A and B are shown apart, each in its own frame.
Chain A
C-alpha cells in the first residue's frame, strides 16, 4: 500500500482507535475492580468537554509546548506507519516528549515540576531498551526501515524473544501505567496531584489526551511489528499485550523511580543486550 495512503489512514483512524482503546482500558479496569465502568466512548466525552472549557494557564506560553507535543506525536506515528527509519521514529518521539516535559517545566509549579523530572527519569529508563529493540530488528532484517521490517518473512518474536520481553517491560513505562505511572497517574493517587499534567487544563489537556491516543496506536503498531509476518497473529498479539498491560496496571502498586530505572536498565542490559549478544554470536 502506498505509504501516503497509510499515513492518511493513520491520521484519521488512529485517534478513533486510540479513543476506543482508552475507553476499553477504563472499562476493563473497572470490571477488574468489580465495578461497571464508564461507557466505551467516555474518553471522547472527556475530550469534548475539555475542549469547551475556559482557556487558563499559569504562564502564558505553556500551552504552546503541548500543541507542538501533539503535532510531533502525530508526526512520529505518521513516520512509523509511512514506513521510514525506525531510529528516526524513536528520535522524533523523544523530541515530542521533550516538548511535553518543557511545557510542564514552563508551568513553574511544584507538582508539574516533579512530574516533569519523573517523566525525564522514565524516558531515561526506557530509552536503552527501545534503542536496543530497533537494533535487534536491524540485526535480523538488515534494515532500520519499518517498511522492510514489516515484510520480513521471519517471525521476529521468535528470533528476538529477549528483546520482545524487554520491550514489553518498557511498554509499561511508556504507557505511563502502574507500576511505572511515575509522572502522572490515572489512578486516584493524588499525592502528586496530577503530576506533569497538573497545570494544563481545557483544550491543552484535551490535546494531551489525544496525543496519548496517537501514541498508544503507535506503540501497539510496534508490538505488531514483532509478529509482522503473520498479520492476524500480529493484531491479536497487540490487543493481548494491551490487555496484559491493563492487568499489570491493576495488579501492581506504583514503584519508586529508583526501582523503575534500575529494573528497566537491568532488563535492557540482560534481556535486550543478551539477545543481541546471542544474535551476533550466531552470525
Chain B
C-alpha cells in the first residue's frame, strides 16, 4: 500500500529562521502551488504529522522544542530541513548561539537547500521524503517478520557511517529520558567512530536484516575486563531479542576474558532490566548528568 505517499501530513517549525523559508513553505499551500492536491495537510500537531519540516538554524531555545516535537511524532516519520540554515547553519554557522543545522539535534532525512528555498524545491523535497517515508513504513511493517533472518557479523570500517546514523537514531529515546542531547553517543563524530575500528582489541558487531544494519555493539578488552558499550538496536526492531543476542555475541567474541563491564544511565529502566536478565549486577554509581550505573558480569 502506498497510502503514505498519498497522505503526507506536515508539521512545520521555525527554529530560528528569518521567516524567509517559512513564507515559502506557506506559499506552497496557496493556489499557485497547492500542495493539498498531493494530500498534504499542514497540521500544527506533531501527533498527527508524518513529516517534520524545520526551517532555520538551531539555537539553545529551539533545541528542546525540536526534540519535544520530534519525540511526540509517531513512527514512521521523516525530517526535512528546509533552507540552508536548517541544513548546516547557513551564514550563521559560526555564531556563538547556533549549534548548527537540524542534524545536530535529530536525524534528518532530506535536505532542501536554498535561501530562501523556493516552493518548487520544497515540494520536491516533500516528494522525496515521501519515498523515504514509504521505505520506513515498509521496514516498520516488515520488522517483526524479518527478525529471524538477522545476521550477526563483525562490522568493518566501511560500516561506520551507517552505525553512526543508527546510534544517533537509537539514542534519541535516551536523550528524551534525560532531556539532554549532549550525551556522548549523540555527539560522536564520524572520525572518532572510524578510529575505533582501527584500535586493537576493539570488536564492533553488527546485526543485519536485508542488508541494513539494525543493531550494533562495541567491546574493547583492557586489563582482563571487556568494556561493552554502545549497544544500539533500531527502534523498529526493539523488543525482539536482538539486544540479548548482540550481547551474547560480544561475549563470545572475547573467549578468554572473564569479566565484562557495561554502563547505562540510571533512569534507563529497560536497559537495566536487560542487563540484569543477562546476569550483570550493578556495582558502582557515578553521579553526573546523567548519573551512570555500572554493571559487571563474571564468567565462570
Q: Find A194's partner among B1, B6, B44 (CB 8 Å cutoff).
A: B44
Q: Are B50 and A37 in contact (CB under 8 A)?
A: no
Given A38-B36, A42-B39, A188-B42, residue A201 in contact with residue B6 (CB < 8 A): no
> Bound complex: CA of A35 vs CA of B76, how far in Å?
29
Q: Find B39's partner among A33, A35, A46, A53 (CB 8 Å cutoff).
A: A46
> Bound complex: CA of A199 vs CA of B47, how far in Å?
7
Q: Are B50 and A49 in contact (CB under 8 A)?
A: yes
Residue of B nearest to A34 (CB): B31
In chain A, residues 19-57, which have Cβ atoms closer than 8 Å to a Cβ of chain B? 26, 30, 33-39, 42, 45-46, 48-50, 52-56
Q: Are B47 and A201 in contact (CB under 8 A)?
A: yes
Q: Find A198's partner among B4, B7, B45 (CB 8 Å cutoff).
A: B45
- Distance in angstroms from A139 CB to nearest chain B CB is 44
Residues of A contacting B6 in the complex (Cβ-Cβ under 8 angstroms): 39, 42, 45, 49
- Distance in angstroms from B109 CB to nearest chain A CB is 17
**Residue B220 is within 8 A (CB to CB) of chain A in the complex:** no
> Bound complex: CA of A34 vs CA of B32, how far in Å?
9
Residue of B nearest to A41 (CB): B6
Q: How many residues of B contact A (CB 8 A)?
A: 27
Q: Are B48 and A205 in contact (CB under 8 A)?
A: yes
Residues of B contacting A34 in the complex (Cβ-Cβ under 8 angstroms): 31
**Residue B137 is within 8 A (CB to CB) of chain A in the complex:** yes
Residues of A contacting B37 in the complex (Cβ-Cβ under 8 angstroms): 30, 35-39
Q: Are A200 and B47 in contact (CB under 8 A)?
A: yes
Q: Find A52's partner among B3, B30, B42, B44 (CB 8 Å cutoff).
A: B3
- Distance in angstroms from B67 CB to nearest chain A CB is 16
Q: Are A53 and B76 in contact (CB under 8 A)?
A: yes
Residue of B nearest to A201 (CB): B47
Given A38-B37, A53-B76, A188-B29, residue A48 in contact with residue B3 (CB < 8 A): yes
Chain A residues close to B by CB (< 8 Å): 26, 30, 33-39, 42, 45-46, 48-50, 52-56, 188, 190, 193-194, 197-202, 205
Closest 10 CB pairs of A and B: A190-B44, A48-B3, A54-B74, A201-B47, A45-B6, A54-B75, A49-B7, A45-B7, A35-B34, A35-B31
